[in-house]
Amino acid sequence: MNPIKVGLLGIGTVGSGTYNVLKRNQEEIRRRAGRGIEIAVVADLNTELARELTGGEVEVVADANEVVNRPDIDIVVELIGGYGVARELVLKAIRNGKHVVTANKALLAVYGNEIFEAAREKGVIVAFEAAVAGGIPIIKALREGLTANRIQWIAGIINGTTNFILSEMRDKGLDFDTVLKEAQRLGYAEADPTFDIEGVDAAHKVTLMSSIAFGMPVQFDKAHVEGITRLSAVDIKYAEELGYRIKLLGLTRRREDGIELRVHPTLVPASRLIANVEGAMNAVLVQGDAVGATLYYGKGAGAEPTASAVIADLVDVTRLHTADPEHRVPHLAFQPDELSSVPVLPIDEVTSSYYLRMRVSDETGVLADITRILADAGISIDAMLQKESREGEPQTDIIMLSHLCREKQVNAAITKIEALPTVLSAVTRLRMEELN
C-alpha cells in the first residue's frame, strides 16, 4: 500500500523531532501502522532552515495554505502554535477533508469546541496527544485506557518550566526572580515565559484533560489560573518543615454541584510520588472509581518526547482514517451528543485545605483571636507552626494548616484576621491537596 501522506506545518523543535523520529523508526512504524507514513511537504517561513533540517529530501514551501489545499495530503500536522494563523489553517485543513494532528494546547483549549464540531461535520480526526504533557500518553490513557471509570479527579504537574523553577527554589533556597533568570540562561524557560510562569499553559492542558475526563465542552475561560510569580522562598521552606512540597498543579475534580478546574501553587504531602517529581519532568495523577489512582510520568516537552506523541497520533489516524467515524474514539472521549452541561465551579465554591502564613505581634491572646475567627467561620485547624521570635523583636510568623473548607469561608476569615491590630502582615494563603 502507498504511504499515507503528511504535510507538516512548522519545522521548529517538535517538527524537526517528528521528522527525525519518523525517518529513524520508519520501518518499525510502518509495521505498526500497516502502511508507511511519509512527510511529503513541509511549510515553514524559514525555507532555508527547513531544507537544511530535512536534508533536501522533502519539498519545502513557505506558504502553509499550499499544504492544507493540496489534494494529495491526507494528514496535516500543525506545529505552528498560538490561536491566530494556526486556527485558520486547522479549520481550512478540516474543511478540505484532511485529518489534523496538533500539539497546540492553546488552540484546542480556547477553540476546541468549534474545531471538534467542524471535524465531526467533515468526518475527520483531530488528534492532540502532544498537546498535553508532551511525550506522556495521557490523552490515550484518559480517552481509552480508563474508559470504564467514573473519573473523580486529576492532578498534574504539566508545566516543566515551572516545575524546574520550583525544584530549584526548594533545593537552593533562592527566590523566584533569581531562579527564573537562571532557568532562562539554561534554556529551561523561554525569553517570554509568561504563559508558563503565570499558569496559562498548565490551564490549557488541564482544561483539555477535564473535558475528556468528565465529558464536557472545553471551557478554558472558566478555569481559575494562578502562576508561581508571587510564591516566596519562605513558604517553600515552611511547607517543607510541615512535611509538604509546593507544586504548580493543574487540578480538576468532580463535585456534587459541578466541576473544579484550577491551576495554582499547591502544597502536596512530601510522601506522595507526585511531590517528588523534580526538574522539568511532568506527571499526571488520575483517580478513577474502579482503578483507583494511576500515575503517568515522563518528559512533558522537547523535540523527540513530543514527536513521540505526534507520531502516535499519526499511527492512530493511519489505522483509523478509513473506519466509519461512528466507530472512532470521540474527540472528547464521550459521544459529541452526550456532552454534559455540568457547570465549572467558580473559585469561591472550590473545596480545599489551606496553608495560612501571617506575621503577628508576639503577645498574649493573638493566637486565641485568630483561632476564634477561624472557628466562627467553621474552619478547623489541622496543624500549626509558630517560629521563635528573634531577640528584641516581639514578632513572629504563624503558619496554620486547615482541614477542608470552601474557599469563600477562608477568604472571609482572612479579611477578619487581617483587620486584627496584632496581625502585622497580609495573610499568605496557599491551597493544599492531600491527593489520597
User: Which residue's CB is nearer to ligand HSE, number 81 or number 269?
Assistant: 81
Question: Does the footprint of ligand HSE cover residue 304 (CB under 6 A)?
Answer: no
Chosen residue from 137, 300, 305, 330 binding ligand HSE by CB under 6 A: 300
Chosen residue from 74, 201, 235, 304 binding ligand HSE by CB under 6 A: 201
> How far is it, in rounded angstroms, from Cα 222 to Cα 241?
34
Site string for ligand HSE, 102-141 (x = CB under 6 A): ----------------------------------------
> How far is it, in rounded angstroms, from Cα 322 to Cα 324?
7
Question: Does the footprint of ligand HSE cover residue 161 (CB under 6 A)?
Answer: yes
Instruction: Return the exposure string of 288-324: e unless at least 16 CB atoms fall within 10 Å of the residue's CB, then b.
Output: beeeebeebbbbbbbbbbbbbbbbbbbbbbbebbeee
Shortest spacing between CB 193 and ligand HSE, in angstroms = 8
Site string for ligand HSE, 24-63 (x = CB under 6 A): ----------------------------------------
Shortest spacing between CB 195 and ligand HSE, in angstroms = 7
Chosen residue from 93, 130, 284, 301 binding ligand HSE by CB under 6 A: 301
Q: Could you tell me which stretch among 45-53, 158-166, 240-248, 410-418 binds ligand HSE (CB under 6 A)?
A: 158-166
**Alpha-carbon 237 to chain mean position:** 25
Q: Could you tell me which stretch among 42-50, 157-165, 286-294, 366-374 binds ligand HSE (CB under 6 A)?
A: 157-165
Chosen residue from 159, 266, 287, 402 binding ligand HSE by CB under 6 A: 159
Question: Does the footprint of ligand HSE cover residue 260 (CB under 6 A)?
Answer: no
Angle subtended by helix axes 200-214 and 105-122, to nearest 10: 40
User: Which residue's CB is nearer to ligand HSE, number 301 or number 398?
Assistant: 301
The sign of the CA dihedral 109, 115, 120, 123 is: negative
Shortest spacing between CB 241 and ligand HSE, in angstroms = 28
Chosen residue from 129, 196, 226, 407 binding ligand HSE by CB under 6 A: 196
Q: How far apart, in Å, are the Cα atoms of 115 and each of 122, 252, 318, 325, 387?
A: 11, 23, 20, 16, 54
Which residue ranges make up the annotated binding site for NADP(+)? 9-16
CA dihedral 114, 120, 124, 125 (to 10 degrees): 70
Active-site residue flag, 205: yes
User: Which residue's CB is nearer to ligand HSE, number 83 or number 412?
Assistant: 83
Planar angle of CA 139, 134, 46, nearest 5 degrees:
125
Which residues have CB under 8 Å from 349's CB, separation 6+? 257, 258, 406, 407, 408
Question: Assign residue 123 a region: left if phi > 0, alpha if psi is -120 to 50, beta otherwise?
Answer: left
Q: What are phi and psi of 431, to 5 degrees?
A: -85, 155
Which residue ranges make up the annotated binding site for NADPH? 105
Q: What are phi and psi of 221, to 5 degrees?
A: -65, -15
Q: Could you tell me which stretch among 136-144, 159-167, 271-279, 340-348 binds ligand HSE (CB under 6 A)?
A: 159-167
User: Which residue's CB is nearer to ligand HSE, number 84 or number 378?
Assistant: 84
The residue count for binding ligand HSE (CB under 6 A) is: 7
User: Which residue's CB is nearer to ligand HSE, number 139 or number 414?
Assistant: 139
User: Which residue's CB is nearer to ligand HSE, number 107 or number 374?
Assistant: 107
The sign of the CA dihedral 307, 308, 312, 313 is: negative
Instruction: Return the exposure string of 345-380: e unless at least 16 CB atoms fall within 10 Å of the residue's CB, then b.
Output: bebeebebbbbbbbbbbbeeebbeebeebbeebebe
User: Which residue's CB is nearer to ligand HSE, number 55 or number 187?
Assistant: 187
- CA neighbor of 408 nearest in space, from 358, 346, 356, 342: 346
User: Which residue's CB is nearer to ligand HSE, number 198 or number 240?
Assistant: 198
> How far is it, in rounded angstroms, from Cα 377 to Cα 408?
10
- CA neighbor of 317 nearest in space, from 122, 179, 125: 125
**Alpha-carbon 254 to chain mean position:** 17
> How far is it, in rounded angstroms, from Cα 223 to Cα 251?
10
Shortest spacing between CB 134 and ligand HSE, in angstroms = 7
Which residue ranges make up the annotated binding site? 9-16, 105, 190
Chosen residue from 135, 160, 298, 305 binding ligand HSE by CB under 6 A: 160
Please report which helix (H) or strand (E) contains residue 233, including its range: helix 233-241
Given the residues 205, 222, 247, 299, the one annotated as active site? 205
Shortest spacing between CB 285 and ligand HSE, in angstroms = 17
CB 89 within 8 A of CB 115: no
Q: Could you tell me which stretch among 37-45, 153-161, 170-178, 354-362 binds ligand HSE (CB under 6 A)?
A: 153-161
- Catalytic residue annotation: 205
Which spans of this chain sit near ligand HSE (rule: CB under 6 A)?
159-161, 196, 201, 300-301
